[in-house]
A and B are shown apart, each in its own frame.
Chain A
Amino acid sequence: MSLFTSIRKTGLAVGVLLFAIVTLFAVPVAHAAAGDVKKGEAIYQKRCWWCHGKKGEADGPAAKFLIPPPRDFSLGVYKYKTSDPKVQIPRDEDLFREITTGMVGTGMPKWDDILSEQDRWDVVAYIKSLTDMFGKTPNPPQIDVSKKIKSSPESIEKGKQAFQTAKCYECHGQLGKGDLTKKLKEDSGARVWPRNFTKPWSFRGGYTAEDIFARVSNGIPNTPMPSFAADATSSGKLSVEDRWNVVNYVMSLAEPTSQVKDGQNVIKGLRRDALPKDENDAAWNEAPSTAFYLAPQIIQNDRFFTPTNDLVKVKALYNEQDIAFMIEWDDRTKSIPGDPTAETIAWDTLTPDQIAVQTPIVMSTGSEKPYFGHGDAGHAVSMMVWNSGTTTTPASGTMMDYTGTHKRTQTDPAAAGFSATGSYKDGTWKVMMKRKMVTANKDKDTQFEVGRFIPIAFANWDGSNGEAGSKHTLTVWNWLLLQPPTGKEVYLVPLLVLILLAGGQLVVANMLGKKRK
């Protein structure tokens, strides 16, 4: 009994402690609070000016390396407003929110971990003072979200139709991947790409239904995204009901496999007797996909800071002779030099899109690997590259070895049985690369081995984004594991343990029983 009493006491103490902790850290709901301009200025001049400029004119030292560019506070135009569409200015809560949560995929981080709520309101007060747009206008009312329509197959279908009638696809693409049909610019002239609806977590103004409704209704000021509110100052195009249907349609497009899972860095290569014929073969559908973040090449000159593509998804299948990779990535542009539409959409000189797969040539026994960027003098890497071609040269694949950046030697793709094919559809490239598991050229080609963790890395070029040569995106080393066919031991060992344990226990019970008598 005393045991239960002590447990009860401990439980009570733990409960009280947990309650105290939860109460202590409970976050109060944000309401527009009065900010102190002077205090806000002090924070701004320590933390914010590096991008936004000392006078808020978006000319800080980092500004020229950022796309989207930092907000110019002297203009008082804000992209993500939730005020009523009839009002030009944003709500104070909009400014507060962007400071609090940051804007994913941009240089603007979330500040709630080092700036208190009051600090953030002070900064809001200061940045509002940098423009006369706000004047003495009171904080505008929030957009009406009371007519929200719950998502349902009917609403999604209606939203899909509204998406067509309002011509959203012209910029966002038929499947919502942002594969635009015309070049888009911000009012400032800066490059801007439409959102990819299959990755809602990349929406900079949030991705709840209310957030998206505010975007559709208010548009994104300063960008080509117009307001679709029928009662807005711009020419209205969608009813409140249709806008909610569009919201539900957009939310239905989320693609979970396009999100990188924390800690998952292994491509799961499975064995198949027959490998897929090409990148569109249905056999790929059942192969598990692993997503990897891309980062721009900011490590060596010439450095590159303004990428468009954010991740690659990779699958692998193998059999006795060959290994096949399927590399898939969302790319808003099919970059084929010579193609008139592609030429008009591209920023900078249009070059082909490319994807490269890098693996070490010699597998080390320890954790040592070649340097992740092109290997190094002591550790060569093998590279398989696919290039989308131009209107005059067809798409093609090639293989080469590197022992460091620029230290390249061509290898014979035919000797490795290498082939690569690719196709672009609705904002996504799919490229299949195939080669022999093992080759005669042991010091020039990677030898793929079943059951071994093989380091693997990727590089990607978006030719419509000025990406060529050292200007590209890349992944660090990840893993490829070609899973061995399931052996008998997987069933035999547990069965053996089962029999031994059961038998052992029965013997012991028998012995103890005899003793007792």
Chain B
Amino acid sequence: MQFLKPIIGVLIAYLLIKIGVPFLGSLHHPGTWPVVPTAVMKMYLTFIIAGAFVACTFDEEGYNALITPVVDLYSNPAKAKLRLCAVTAVSLLGCWIAYQYVKPTFDAPVELRSVHPAPPSSVTMWNKSYPLQTLKNPFRAPDKAQLAKFTEEGGVIYYQNCFYCHGDKQDGKGHFAQAFNPMPANFVDVGTIAMLTESFVFWRVGSGGPGLPSEGTPWASAMPVWNTMLSEEEVWKAILFIYDQSGVQPRVTDVVAEKK
């Protein structure tokens, strides 16, 4: 029985990663089934199997309980048939694993990409240099009526330029989004504009995909270089709108926060 314990433990862990993780993901993003990539699964399983082995052989008693049936299987003259089965099974499993490694595949190479690369300290757009650390949205007016007006103007800009990819619901699922890789940013997700300052977003919008540093894969991003098509004012107003419509607050830097 002792022998089954680690196997059942590993099996449960495997099922949790294989089904549990995508299930949790599907609750968070209905309609999706985000599976754990095979490479990550392999890594986890290696750790889990090693962990299970260490846990079961922590003391001598546990070690013996685990190892005795194995030694018995390989040495007991009465178990010759069972032994033959075990030897065949282990050999075939090894053979199959080896085949998986050497067989020809068409799996695309894994490409890593930094989603929010570090911004430069300043950026030049519209023939002007902007210091990103201290830059603030000039249209975030204290007056509520004025702010509402700028936000709606930003909405018009959003719907004439951005909505086709970033979507009606700011979820990055606009009607052309599926053709792009990387997918357009999902503004409702806590991991995007909610954790960025408005100046960072201004830099990302203004200089677009080609303005990314190489860790952000500038060659793959379809984000246009907006400073060639929109004015500075339009970009700031669109930024007002995406925060307002997706219901998240921009991050404020420590310097700004302290002043408040």
Is the CB of B4 closer than 8 A to any CB of chain A? Answer: yes
B159-176: CB near A (< 8 Å → 1, else 0) gives: 110011101110101111
CB distance from B144 to the nearest CB of A (A): 16
Given A370-B219, A501-B91, also A61-B156 (CB < 8 A): yes
Q: In the bound complex, how far is the Cα of B164 from the Cα of A305, in angstroms? A: 8
Beta-carbon contacts under 8 Å, A438-490 to B: 453, 474-477, 479, 481, 483-484, 486, 489-490
Which of A60, A265, A498 touches B92 (beta carbons < 8 Å)?
Answer: A498
Separation of A301 and B161 alpha carbons in the complex (Å): 12
The distance from the CB of A472 to the nearest CB of chain B, in whole angstroms, is 13
Q: Is the CB of A484 within 8 A of B83?
A: no
Interface residue B179 (Cβ < 8 Å from any Cβ of A): yes
- CB–CB A490/B219 < 8 A: no
A379 in contact (CB, < 8 A): yes
| Residue among A305, A372, A453 with max Cβ neighbours from chain B (10 Å) | A372
Within 8 A of B (CB), among A18-48: 25, 46-47
Of B158, B168, B218, chain A has the most CB atoms within 10 Å of the CB of B168
Measured CA separation A406–B10 after assembly (Å): 57
CB-based contact A476/B95 at 8 Å: no
Q: Is B42 an interface residue (CB 8 A)?
A: no
B74 contacts A508, C-beta separation under 8 Å: yes
> Judging by beta carbons under 8 Å apart, are A494 and B96 in contact?
yes
**CB <8 Å contact, A501 and B94:** yes
Which residues, 264 to 291 on A, are CB-close (under 8 Å) to B? 265-266, 268
The complex places the Cα of A106 from the Cα of B164 at a distance, in Å, of 10
Which residue of chain B has the shortest Cβ distance to A298 in the bound complex? B164
Q: Which residues of A contact B104 (CB under 8 A)?
A: 483-484, 486, 490
- Any B CB within 8 A of the CB of A418: no
Contacting pair B167 A109 (CB below 8 A)? yes
Surface stretch bound by B, among A231-239, A327-335, A509-517: A509-517
B210 A371 Cβ-Cβ under 8 A: yes
Residue of B nearest to A290 (CB): B106
A477 to B221, CA, bound (A): 10
Q: Kindly list chain B residues whose C-beta atoms are within 8 Å of the C-beta of A132.
A: none
Looking at chain B's contact residues, the main secondary structure is helix
Q: Tell me the minimal C-beta distance from B175 to chain A in angstroms.
A: 5
Chain A residues touching B, range = 35 or more
Chain A residues with CB under 8 Å of B163's CB are 50, 62, 107
Query: Could you tell me if B91 and A505 are in contact, using CB atoms closer than 8 angstroms?
Result: yes
The answer, among A106, A489, A513, for a CB contact under 8 Å with B175, is A106
**CB-nearest residue of chain B to A370:** B219
Complex contacts, A7 vs chain B, CB 8 Å = 8
Q: A114-B169, A494-B95, A497-B94 are in contact. Are A295 and B224 (CB under 8 A)?
A: no
Most-contacted residue by chain B among A7, A265, A509 (CB, 10 A) = A509
B102 beta carbon closer than 8 Å to chain A: yes
The answer to whether the Cβ of B1 comes within 8 Å of any Cβ in the partner chain is yes
Residues of A within 8 A of B101 (CB): 493
What's the nearest-Cβ distance from chain A to residue B183, in Å?
11
**Residue count of chain B within 8 Å CB distance of chain A:** 67
Contact B99 A476 (CB under 8 A): no
A486–B102 Cα distance when bound, in Å, is 10
A497-B169 contact given A65-B164, A268-B106, A300-B224, CB 8 Å threshold = no
- Closest Cβ of chain A: how far from B7's Cβ, in Å? 11
A476 with B98: in contact, given A60-B159, A368-B219 (CB under 8 Å)? no
In the complex, A281→B31 CA distance in Å? 41
Select which of A65, A296, A367, A490 is within 8 A of B111 by beta carbon: A367
Chain B, Cβ-Cβ closest to A515: B75
How far, in angstroms, from A483 to B210 measured CA to CA in the complex? 32
Q: Which residues of B contact A294 (CB under 8 A)?
A: 179
The answer to whether A109 touches B219, judged by C-beta atoms less than 8 angstroms apart, is: no
Q: Nearest B residue to A489 by beta-carbon distance?
A: B102
Chain B window 46-85, contacts with chain A (Cβ cutoff 8 Å), 1 for yes, 0 for no: 0000000000000000000000000100111100000100
Q: How long is the Cα–Cα vector from A108 to B97 in the complex, in angstroms?
A: 47
Please report the C-alpha to C-alpha distance between residue A140 and residue B92 in the assembled complex, in whole angstroms: 66
Q: Which residues of B contact A65 (CB under 8 A)?
A: 160, 164
Pairwise interchain contact B94-A107, C-beta atoms closer than 8 A? no
Q: Are B4 and A3 touching (Cβ within 8 A)?
A: yes
Contacts of B90 in A (CB 8 A): 501, 505
Contacts of B174 in A (CB 8 A): 107, 109
Given known contacts A107-B175, A295-B180, is B220 in contact with A50 (CB within 8 Å)? no
Q: Which of A240-283 contact B (CB under 8 A)?
A: 260, 265-266, 268
Q: Please, which residues of chain A bring their CB within 8 A of the CB of B88?
A: 502
Q: Is the CB of B179 within 8 A of A368?
A: no
B30 contacts the other chain (CB 8 A)? yes
Q: How many angstroms from the CA of A254 to the CA of B4 in the assembled complex?
A: 49
Closest A residue to B215 by CB, please name it: A367
Inter-chain contacts of A501 with B (CB < 8 A): 90-91, 94-95
Q: Which of A260, A475, A483, A497 has the most CB of B within 10 A?
A: A497
Interface status of B87 (Cβ within 8 A of chain A): yes
Given the known interface contacts A7-B8, A372-B219, A483-B104, the answer about A494 and B99 at a Cβ–Cβ threshold of 8 Å is yes
**Cβ-defined partner of A109 (8 Å) among B106, B169, B218:** B169
Provide the residues of chain B in CB contact with A497, threshold 8 Å: 94-95, 97-98
- Per-residue 0/1 for A363-405: is the Cβ within 8 Å of any B Cβ (1 yes, 0 no)? 0000111111000100100000000000000000000000000
B86, B108, B158, B229 — most chain A CB neighbours (10 Å): B108
Q: CA separation between A299 and B174, bound complex, in Å?
A: 14
Instruction: Indicate if the CB atoms of A490 and B220 lie closer than 8 Å.
Output: no
Q: Which residues of A contact B156 (CB under 8 A)?
A: 50, 61
With contact pairs A65-B164, A493-B102 given, residues A367 and B112 touching in the complex (Cβ less than 8 Å)? yes
Give A444 to B30 CA distance when docked, in angstroms. 48
If A301-B229, A371-B210 touch, whether A51 touches B159 (CB-CB below 8 Å) is yes
Residues in B neighbouring A483, C-beta threshold 8 A: 104, 106
With a CB–CB cut-off of 8 A, which chain B residues contact A505?
Answer: 74, 86-87, 90-91
A237 to B254 Cα, complex, angstroms: 72
Known: A295-B180, A505-B90, A516-B75. 8 other contacts (CB 8 A): A62-B160, A300-B225, A369-B219, A475-B179, A476-B179, A498-B92, A501-B91, A502-B88
- Enumerate the 7 nearest inter-chain pairs by beta-carbon distance, A residue then B residue, closest first: A295-B179, A512-B75, A293-B179, A62-B159, A497-B98, A498-B95, A502-B91
30 contacts between A and B (CB under 8 A): A25-B27, A50-B159, A50-B168, A61-B156, A109-B169, A109-B173, A111-B169, A113-B31, A114-B169, A265-B181, A266-B107, A295-B180, A298-B164, A300-B225, A300-B229, A305-B164, A453-B108, A475-B179, A476-B180, A476-B222, A486-B104, A490-B103, A493-B102, A494-B95, A498-B95, A505-B86, A505-B90, A512-B71, A513-B77, A516-B76
